[in-house]
């Protein structure tokens, strides 16, 4: 089976790290399916990729993966495509800074952060997992964060959700290692994306989204007998 006959699924693929991962796999000849909340952003991505990679196959679907029904619809969209899923990259997420003590007393911010950063990965993994197990092959990546490892004073519910996503990833790895499915947690520090817009720092102070994508692709490119369990990437000058 050649690259074009294998499907790479990337959530949140219209911007930032997700966009870089989509482009890296298309460049290598793989078919890619991605989603984002904005249909116009997806159309712009599709036009750019068609111009840059004329032979590439990119399938897009507008979905808000914080909503379980949208996760189910995106899973069905992916399963209806002709190529089997070889790679699943959970990149969809959102960042709201702040202290727990300042968050709404109704707990809505924690629930929002869990829905976007954790439950989106959980709700999409479950329907696609039987296919991975049946084939005895595949690779699942979760785009976690250094906030998955280190508590920050301004991390709040975002930090809780990213810790939980890291735990989800480690559990998946333990469950699937005997079934031929590789699982990798990607833990980038500050990456130059829209989340840092207005920070007033030079781009060179951040990790490049393309660097994260290259690390994902490199881990995937290893032989099936080896797995990179964790990829920890920080800006050269340290955390911001």
User: What CATH number does the domain containing 32 carry?
Assistant: 3.40.50.720
Q: Are 145 and 187 in contact (CB under 8 A)?
A: yes
Q: Is 223 a member of any domain? A: yes
Blockwise average pLDDT, block size 10, the chain, 240 residues: 88 96 98 98 98 96 98 98 97 94 96 98 98 98 96 94 98 98 96 74 89 97 97 92
Give the number of other Cβ atoms within 10 Å of residue 155's Cβ: 21
pLDDT value of position 197: 66
Supply angle C-alpha 104, 108, 111, rounded to 5. 140
Residue among 45, 41, 44 nearest 32 (CA): 45
pLDDT at 209: 94
Residues 109 and 98: their CA atoms lie apart, in Å, by 10
CA 10 to chain centre: 6
Q: Which helix (H) or strand (E) holds 75?
A: helix 68-79
Check residue 4 and give its pLDDT.
Answer: 75
The answer to whether residue 59 sits within a structural domain is: yes
Question: Where in the sequence is the domain holding 153, given as residue range(s)?
Answer: 3-233
The one-character DSSP state at 191 is B
Number of folded domains that form the chain = 1
- CA dihedral (58, 60, 64, 65) in degrees, to 10, reads -40
Instruction: Give pLDDT, residue 3.
Output: 79
Q: What is the DSSP letter of 233?
A: E
DSSP state of 239: -
pLDDT of residue 35: 98
Is residue 97 one of the residues assigned to a domain?
A: yes
In a domain, 239, yes or no: no
**What's the CA angle centered on 186, arms 181 and 188, to 5 degrees?**
175
> Residues 10, 22: contact at Cβ < 8 Å?
yes
């Amino acid at each position: 089976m050649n690259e074009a006959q294998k499907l790479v699924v990337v959530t949140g693929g219209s911007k930032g790290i997700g966009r870089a991962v989509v482009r890296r796999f298309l460049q290598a000849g793989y078919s890619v399916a991605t989603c984002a909340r904005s249909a116009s952003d997806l159309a712009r991505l599709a036009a750019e990729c068609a111009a840059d990679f004329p032979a590439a196959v990119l399938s897009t679907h507008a979905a808000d993966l914080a909503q379980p029904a949208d996760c189910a619809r995106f899973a069905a969209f992916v399963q209806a495509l002709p190529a089997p899923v070889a790679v699943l990259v959970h990149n969809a997420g959102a960042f709201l800074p702040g202290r727990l003590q300042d968050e709404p007393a109704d707990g809505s911010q924690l629930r929002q952060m869990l829905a976007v950063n954790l439950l989106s990965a959980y709700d999409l993994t479950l329907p696609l997992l039987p296919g991975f197990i049946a084939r005895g092959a595949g690779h699942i990546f979760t785009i976690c964060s250094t906030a998955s490892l280190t508590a920050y004073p301004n991390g709040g519910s975002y930090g809780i959700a990213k810790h939980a996503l890291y735990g989800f990833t480690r559990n998946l790895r333990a469950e699937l290692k005997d079934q031929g499915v590789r699982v990798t947690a990607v833990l980038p520090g500050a990456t130059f994306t829209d989340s840092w817009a207005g920070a007033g720092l030079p781009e060179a102070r951040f990790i490049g989204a393309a660097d994260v994508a290259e690390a994902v692709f490199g881990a995937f490119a290893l032989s099936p007998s080896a797995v990179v369990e964790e990829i920890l990437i920080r800006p050269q000058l340290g955390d911001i």
